[in-house]
Structure 1
Amino acid sequence: MKVLKPWLGCLMSILMLFLLIVPTMAAAAEGSGKTIVVGLSADFAPYEFHKNIDGQDQIVGSDVELAKRIAADMGAQLQIQDIPFDSLLPALSSGRIDMIISGMTPTEDRRKNVDFSDSYYVSRQVIMTRAEDKDKYATFDSLKGAAIGVQKGSIQEGIAKDIEGAKLTSVDKISDVVLQLQSKRVDVAVMEGPVAEGQVANHSDLAISAAQIPDSDTEMAIAVKKGNTELLAQINGTLAELKKTDAVAKFVQEATALNSDEKAAPDNIFSIFWDYRHYYATGVQYTLLLSALGVLFGFVIGLVVALLRLSKLNVLRWIAMTYIEILRGTPMLVQLLIIHYGIAQTFNIEFSVLQSGIITLSINSSAYLAEIFRAGIQGVDRGQTEAARSLGMSYGMTLRHIIIPQAIKSVLPAIGNEFVVIIKESSIVSFIGVADLMFQAQAVRSITYSALYPLLIAAAIYFVMTFVLSKLLGMVERRWSVSDKR
């Protein structure tokens, strides 16, 4: 605590290096070879889903096989990005992915923003309900006024909206739709036929209703960025060859068999944790990395912004105040989407999902830390500054050696609380596909068909991490306060 200058300079150097190399890293990755990036939502068995094969988590399914065939015909390396379904179109529009193969229906609204390939598969929509209510919702008319669960942004959401008096609950994941149904928050769910069959096969308390949805057969097509005619022509060429042998239908059959050859994990939270512990271990690594870098950069940026906030120059104070108010006054999710999708679309600077997560956590945290630092600096007795200046110390030396060390010491509990918050809020980055703890918990939900237990395990791990951090910060605080008692 005696001299802040060396390590502060080091942190600033790391921050500047990170910000400078982020865009070039993305560009270098692009130039390393021809790669086709496919976006999908891997909770949609048998089309795309997570599966543990030879101890490794893999995304498999009929759409994945289709993507492999397209990439092979193009002579490109396939890269798959697992993204929530309602974020797929923004990812495509911003250029973060080259195509969407995720059981997507080419509706007129979607055609306004993206181009679609020829149809590659026709699916049917069904009504899934609790087994005890199967006869209650046996006809389409019986759905009038019912509470219906659907996946957000899906064609099923549009179908449910057309049901008279329906009360919709739209969620991100199929597993969340199932949880809504099992917890009796909704009466029925509109779901893709094969997807519903997979859920029913793994949940004895669920059933597919006899209710027939009028005109429910829907086509699936591949989405590409608007105007990308070259890629569209290549995709349609591959689809034409596959249709000659009805290959896509075979892909669906094989994926269905692959999905059903391993039954769901035992309905036991301890068994699920142990069987899928490597998923959670990977998630913890990403969460700790995100949190550590978010804390590091947030600390440095926050300290700089706090000093600007206390500057005698009005323009610097205005810049700092604007920075703080904007970041504190907007949701972190909005900031994440702007950084990940908006910057890529507007400035053609593509951060990786990990980089976008780190930047978002850093700047969001820095706004709160800036106000904490400002309060700490203003809380230091002015006599300290006057004494230092009387000894011939410059303003900068006074800040580094006298004011800032005492300020940080006084606000350490508030800083520690912000660090704990960052660990918990880092879960938001799973929304763009970072394989953190929350992302891995969702993957386990998809594999095991257990809607609740994987989340409880994740919650317990988050608690352990934040509890340990709180205790460590408490030890540091007590150690620094020893001198105050002398």
Structure 2
Amino acid sequence: MTLKHDSIRRALTALACLLVLAGCLVVPGASVPPTANAAAKTITMGTSPDYPPYENVDAAAGGKIVGLDIDIAQAIADKLGYELKIAPSDFDGLIAALQSKRVDFVMSGMSVTEERKKSVDFSDTYYVASNTIVSRQDSGLNTLEDLAGKKVGVQLGSTQEKVVSEIENPTVLKLNKIPDLIQALKANRVDAVIVEDAVAAGYAQSNNDLNIAMIPAGDSGEGYAIAFPKGSELSAPFNEALQEMKNDGSLRQMIDKWFGTKSTVGSKVGGGWLHFDRIGSYMGYLLRGIYVTLLFTLVSAAFGFVWGGILSLFKLSKVAVLRGFSTVYTSVFRGTPLLLQLALIYYAIPQLTGYNIPALLAAGLAFGLNSAAYLSETIRGGIMAVDKGQREAALSLGIPYRTMMFSIIMPQAVKNILPALVNECVALVKESSLVSVIGVADLMRRANVVQANTFLAFEPLLVVGAIYYVLVLALTSVARLLERRMRRSD
């Protein structure tokens, strides 16, 4: 019994050390604030890299973010003497990133609207685009009038939301990402999707079953500009640099470069169900997401277990304050959505404290705190399941309470709740896909990148789904081996 308990105690110590080490590995990347700094000469750009040709991740180039907006931002940064850093995020989180000062400016095909002007400042317009209707072939949906009473998809937070207001009695579906909208269109969940012209051209070229129809620019032309926090000192120098680029023709050259090479995604896809052959070159990029997913899961599980164990002891304590704290904590974290907790930690901490918490660390903290709330009840149940006689015998022998709990009671409790702990780890692996909304390059985020690059909406999701399934099977197998070993040690 002593050997087994020593083994479990060493394992718990190793988990705690691993948690600290992982935190140290993640934190240094955040030591430099994202705001422009004259001494460091760095400047951070926020973007949603799922909108080619404006910005997307080039998996063949090791995950580098490329596109028209990136080239323009780099040229301006060079002119002003800054080192450019790029912070990816979902489109609907870019304004929040500006307001929380996680980034210095945003370039992501963002249109200038009166509503947005209330929250951010804009530069001069650097490109004017037209909106386009994307529908299935032979649908006959070519004008806004044709969409009357139809189901129409638009990107959440985009100016296309305003375009659908011109349609008579539409049913509107708003999603975060363009690939999700195209998949909804292919699955007949919507009749048409409204997106920007260059993006629509890419999807039409790569999908034989899609049709595009341009909406006249006079009705819905969009001026794209750079967004800054209110009162930012960067607005004036950025406008000057933009004007120089317009005057010397370099801006026009960049636009021609990206809008003259729409065929970079490959040949047009014909009929048929699936096209996995086009994902082969992206497999290395997708598989590298396994490391991020497993690192995040391990850190979250270790932190959740340690903090959940402490909370369970609080709940069994005779001190009313500790019992009250643990009860309120559990109630709050189990009573609010995990996605909300993640967003609050990621966006609120920089705004309230000035500390630019890295995305991966914010995700590990949110998931660990949430997991601890559930594990505290599981661990408490495991402790209560240990025979009371062992507790009484330990106390009668004069063994201190702390030694008794960690050397005698807790190891047996862990053995009792091992299946529940495995279930929690499995849940963390699958729920880790939520971290993609704050730009962590996990498996799900990489699937979104491949969707944007290949203009295939369904196949990348199937590949990533298979990877998740294999990870869960491997985790379950390891848990079975551990459980059998612990049984033999009795």
Query: Does TM, normalized by the shorter one, top 0.5?
Result: yes
| Matched residue, 2:429 | 423
Mark the CA change 1:17 to 1:262 in structure 2 (over 3 Å): closer, same or farther: closer
Query: CA offset at residue 257 of structure 1?
Result: 3.2
Distance 1:213 1:137 in 2: 17
Q: CA deviation at 1:140?
A: 2.6
Q: CA deviation at 1:162?
A: 3.3
Partner of 1:360: 366
Q: Contact between 2:49 and 2:88, CA under 8 Å: does it hold in 1?
A: yes
Are positions 1:378 and 2:375 aligned together? no
In the superposition, the TM-score normalised over structure 2's length comes to 0.92
Do the aligned residues in 2 keep the contact of 1:61 with 1:251 (CA within 8 Å)?
no
Amino acid at match of 2:148: K
CA distance in 2, matches of 1:272, 1:298: 39
SS at match of 2:349: helix
Q: Deviations over 1:298-355 (max 9, x none)?
A: 1111111111111111110111111111111111111111111011111212111111
Separation (CA, whole Å) in 2 of partners of 1:353 and 1:142: 43
CA displacement, residues 334-379 of structure 1 (integer Å, 9 cap, x when unaligned): 1111111011111212111111111112111111111110000011
Residues 395 and 56 (structure 1), Cα distance of their counterparts in 2 relative to 1, 3 Å cut: closer
Provide the C-alpha distance between the structure 2 equivalents of 1:59 and 1:258, rounded to a whole number of angstroms: 17
Q: 2:151 aligns with which of 147, 151, 157?
A: 147
1:308 to 1:365, Cα distance in 2 relative to 1, 3 A = same
Once the two structures are TM-superposed, the CA of residue 245 in structure 1 deviates from its matched residue by 3.6
Which SS does the other structure have where 1:411 is aligned?
helix
Label 1:417 to 1:461 Cα distance change in 2 as closer, same or farther (>3 A): same
User: 2:176 matched to 1:159?
Assistant: no
The question of 1:51 aligning with 2:58 is answered yes
SS in 2 for 1:132: coil
Aligned: 1:97 with 2:103: yes
- For 2:485, the equivalent position in structure 1 comes to 479
Paired amino acid for 1:49: N
Q: Name the counterpart of 2:323.
A: 317
- Residues 27 and 358 in structure 2, CA contact (< 8 A), matched pair in contact too: no
Matched with 1:224 is 228
Which runs of 5 or more structure 1 residues have no equivalent in the other structure?
Answer: none
Aligned pairs, how many?
480
Deviation of 1:107 after TM superposition, in Å, equals 0.9
Q: Do the aligned partners of residues 25 and 147 (structure 1) sit closer, same or farther apart at CA in structure 2, a change above 3 Å counting?
A: closer
Farther-moved stretch of structure 1 (28-37 vs 443-452)? 28-37
Q: How far does residue 28 in structure 1 lie from its aligned partner after superposition? A: 4.3
Task: Find the aligned partners of 1:161 and 1:192 in 2 and give their Cα distance.
Answer: 16
Counterpart amino acid of residue 263 in structure 2 = S
CA distance in 2, matches of 1:475, 1:14: 22
Percent identity at matched positions?
Answer: 39
Q: Which whole-Å CA distance do the structure 1 matches of 2:366 and 2:258 have between them?
A: 37
Q: 1 CA distance for matches of 2:471 and 2:9?
A: 30
Task: State the Cα distance separating 1:271 from its structure 2 match.
Answer: 2.6
Structure 2 partner of 1:80: 86
**How far is the alpha carbon of 1:214 from its aligned partner?**
5.6
Which residue in 2 is equivalent to 1:307?
313
Alpha-carbon distance in structure 2 between the residues aligned to 1:439 and 1:243: 35
Which aligned pairs between 1:387-406 and structure 2 lie closer than 5 A? 387-406=393-412
- Structure 1's consecutive aligned runs of 4 or more residues displaced over 4 angstroms after TM superposition are 4-25, 28-32, 210-214, 264-270
User: Which of residues 323, 336, 339 in structure 1 aligns to 2:345?
Assistant: 339
Alpha-carbon offset, residue 175 of structure 1 = 0.9
Distance 1:446 1:263 in 2: 13
CA contact (8 A) 1:23 1:351 kept: yes
Uncovered stretches (5+) of structure 2, i.e. residues with no partner: none
2:183 corresponds to 1:176: no
1:109 deviates by 1.1
Does residue 251 of structure 1 match 2:254?
Answer: yes
- The letter of the residue matching 2:126 is Y
Which residue of the partner structure matches residue 122 of structure 1?
Answer: 128
Shift of 1:402: 1.4
- CA-based RMSD: 2.2
Residue type at the aligned position of 2:165: K
Tell me if 1:202 matches 2:176.
no
1:411 and 2:411 are equivalent in the alignment = no
Q: Which amino acid aligns with 1:260?
A: S
- Residue 369 (structure 1) aligned with residue 375 (structure 2): yes
Amino acid corresponding to residue 153 of structure 2 in structure 1: G
Partner residue of 1:465 out of 460, 463, 471: 471
Query: 1:214 & 1:233 partners in 2: Cα distance?
Result: 29
Instruction: Pick closer, same or farther for the CA change 1:13–1:475 going to 2, 3 Å.
Output: closer
Q: Aligned AA for 1:324? A: T
- Note if contact 1:23-1:349 (Cα within 8 Å) is conserved in structure 2: no
CA positional deviation for 1:275: 2.0
Change (3 A) 1:115 1:183: same
- TM-score (normalizing by structure 1): 0.93
The 5 Å alignment of 1:34-73 reads 34-53=41-60, 55-73=61-79
Q: Secondary structure at the match of 2:219?
A: coil
Pick aligned residue for 2:189 from 182, 185, 188? 185
The answer (yes or no) to whether the contact 1:39–1:80 under 8 Å persists in 2 is: yes
Alpha-carbon distance in structure 1 between the residues aligned to 2:22 and 2:325: 23
Change beyond 3 A, Cα 1:474–1:143: same
Contact residue 140 and residue 212 of structure 1 kept, 8 A: no
